[in-house]
Amino acid sequence: MKNLFSVLRSDDVADDLVRVIETIVDASKEIAFLVRQGALAGVLGSTQDENIQGETQKQLDVISNQLLKDLLLANSAVAAIASEEEDTVVAGNAAGKYLVAFDPLDGSSNIDINGQIGTIFSIYRVLDGIAHGSEEQFKQKGAQQVCAGYELYGPSTLLVITTGKGTHCFTLDSTQGNFLLTAGHIRIAQDTQEFAINMSNARFWNDNMRSYIDDLILGETGARGKRYNMRWNAAMVGDVHRVMTRGGIFLYPSDNRNAKQPAKLRLLYEANPMAMLIENAGGKACSETQRILDIQPTQLHERVAVILGSANEVSECLGYLQ
């Protein structure tokens, strides 16, 4: 079986970028170990603190963030990091060529129930002529990412990664500590009969989104003429991984629960990396109005509606939203 580094070499990934990926992978192996140990490692439960997103931090959010932050800032190729758990950008080596944005622990509500959780990351090149360590460095379109990936801490620990030449899945061999290729060049089915959405928000969606989901629920008796099944993990990594594996559509639409915050998922740490992975596997990833990877970020912690997965189903959904 090929390991991660032989695949990165055959995808012609530059040595210094490989070193950044290696650092992320090293941090995630430590997180995976702590997740497996769970209560025995004392990592479950909440802290007293709130993050910049206005959410109470879980212990594992803080620990995972610190591991990634410490290891990445010690890597001379890393110019700066941005994290869902950090108020602002943290500067690294001024001579570094890469920027790393990450959601250190996705699916925090699953930590204490022994459910699926993960880490999501995104790598950009430093922009010339923009101050070192500034937020402006990170205001790049998702299309500029040079690498995106997630680790899924499930029954197995998986790494799903792309550098723009296909999306590959590796499984952590915990006997050796290596990620081994278990699904190369993933292709997401174009059509699907499975959707993932938090149905409890239905009354807060706009009418068009409600009528799309209504038609899925009507199944063979409605406009879509086929029966759909619904799955919801409450962890984007788990839901997106199901889409990667067997097709499907994942949605976190905008809603009117909170006028100040119409969307939930974060563009830099969640939507962009997942969009790059999905597109490199032949799927489609859009907000309600445009391709996610074409969005020009205006704020570091910007949020965006997300509709991604099987290409034909995403197009069907967008048809309802016009």
- 29 or 266: CB nearest Mn ion: 266
Cβ atoms of residues 298 and 50 within 8 Å: no
Closest approach of Cβ 266 to ligand AHG, in Å? 8
Choice from 63, 71, 148, 235 touching ligand AHG (CB under 6 A): 235
Bridge partners of 46, per DSSP, are 58
- Partner whose binding site includes residue 235, from ligand AHG, Mn ion, none (CB under 5 to 8 Å by kind): ligand AHG
**Which residues, 6+ apart, have CB-to-CB distance to 266 below 8 Å?**
53, 84, 103, 301, 302, 303, 304
Choice from 14, 41, 44, 234 touching ligand AHG (CB under 6 A): 234
The DSSP H or E segment spanning 33 is helix 15-37
Closest CA relative to residue 86, chosen from 50, 128, 126, 52: 52
Q: Does 160 bind ligand AHG (CB under 6 A)?
A: no
Structure tokens at 22: 């290696």
- 266 or 284: CB nearest ligand AHG: 266
Structure tokens at 230: 């619904």
- The piece of 13-21, 92-100, 230-238, 308-316 that touches ligand AHG (CB under 6 A) is 230-238
Handedness of CA 72, 116, 170, 270 (dihedral sign): negative
Instruction: Please report, as residue ranges, which positions from 107 to 126 form the binding site for ligand AHG (by CB under 6 A).
Output: 107-108
- 29 or 303: CB nearest ligand AHG: 303
Closest approach of Cβ 84 to Mn ion, in Å? 5
Choice from 106, 194, 215, 316 touching ligand AHG (CB under 6 A): 106
Q: Does 31 bind ligand AHG (CB under 6 A)?
A: no
Q: Please give the single-letter amino acid code of residue 220.
A: E
Bridge partners of 169, per DSSP, are 160, 183
Q: What are the residues binding Mn ion (CB under 5 A)?
A: 84, 103, 105-106
Give 149's DSSP letter: E
- 8 or 68: CB nearest ligand AHG: 68
Choice from 63, 67, 79, 236 touching ligand AHG (CB under 6 A): 236
In the chain, what is the straight-line distance between the N-terminal and C-terminal CA atoms, in Å?
46
Q: Does 162 bind ligand AHG (CB under 6 A)?
A: no
Instruction: Please report, as residue ranges, which positions from 267 to 306 form the binding site for ligand AHG (by CB under 6 A).
Output: none
- The piece of 32-40, 106-114, 157-165, 279-287 that touches ligand AHG (CB under 6 A) is 106-114
Q: How many C-beta atoms lie closer than 10 Å to residue 246's C-beta?
A: 13
Bridge partners of 120, per DSSP, are 103, 150
- Partner whose binding site includes residue 234, from Mn ion, ligand AHG, none (CB under 5 to 8 Å by kind): ligand AHG
Q: What angle do CA 285, 234, 166 make, to 5 degrees?
A: 35
Closest approach of Cβ 242 to Mn ion, in Å? 16
- Partner whose binding site includes residue 69, from Mn ion, ligand AHG, none (CB under 5 to 8 Å by kind): none
Closest CA relative to residue 78, chosen from 26, 2, 117: 26
Rounded Cα gap, residues 151 and 157, in angstroms: 7
The footprint of ligand AHG (CB under 6 A) covers 55, 84, 103, 106-108, 198, 234-236, 252, 264
